Chain A
Amino acid sequence: AQSVTQLDSQVPVFEEAPVELRCNYSSSVSVYLFWYVQYPNQGLQLLLKYLSGSTLVKGINGFEAEFNKSQTSFHLRKPSVHISDTAEYFCAVSDPGNAGNMLTFGGGTRLMVKP
């Protein structure tokens, strides 16, 4: 079974600073990878996804992520964060062959942007 590890449960950062949220997954076979964002008291929204092709994926709100197959990682980055980026971020992985297109989620990283 797949597992996803988000190495940092909380990441405090000052506004306009760069940020990287780390994600590692367990499987070395083909996977689909996702980052979701959850704003307070809301559901999850898709930030970006990697299915195939270019290893650098750009998403909404200026976020991007890089797929590294050899390190089984999919770290999320933003060069300059805003207060409005304060939220919980979840990395998720899916095995393209699984019958239910199920996602396995990491434990989440709380990004706290300070003024």
Chain B
Amino acid sequence: NAGVTQTPKFRILKIGQSMTLQCTQDMNHNYMYWYRQDPGMGLKLIYYSVGAGITDKGEVPNGYNVSRSTTEDFPLRLELAAPSQTSVYFCASSPGGGLSSEQYFGPGTRLTVT
């Protein structure tokens, strides 16, 4: 199994541009998450999903959108990129359903907005 995969690995955006960060998992996990990691700040939850067609906001959702049309995929959309969105983005998945909450992480996407 590949686990959680993310594309692209790196991206530079200009202010005001848009892009979609892709995330796919092949573990048949119900739950998926998007985090951003800023230096010295740990991980902050952007959005999460408990199943196909269901999404909800996390701690820092402003400036982002998500969709979950399939169990496997959970893309994160940035509209009108701003320098404050420069960060490393991690996607994660979890079996869910009252189990241990252990999350499995992808390798991350490093995004720079200039």
Contacts and interface: CB of A to CB of B under 8 A. Distances in A.
Interface string A15-50: 000000000000000001010100000111110010
Interface residues of B, number: 28
B100 A107 contact: no
Interface majority SS (helix, strand, loop, mixed), chain A: loop
Interface stretch (B11-19, B75-83, B105-113): B105-113
A102 B45 contact: yes
B33 A107 contact: no
**Which range holds the interface residue count of chain A?**
20 to 34
B105 A32 contact: no
A67 interface: no
Contacts, number: 61
A36 B101 CA distance: 13
A36 B94 CA distance: 15
Given A100-B48, A100-B50, A101-B31, A51 B41 contact: no
Contact of A108 (B42, B45, B98, B107): B42
Interface of A: 4, 9, 32, 34, 36, 42-46, 49, 51, 90, 94, 96, 99-103, 105-108
Interface of B: 4, 31, 33, 40-45, 48, 50, 56, 58, 90, 92, 94, 96, 98-108
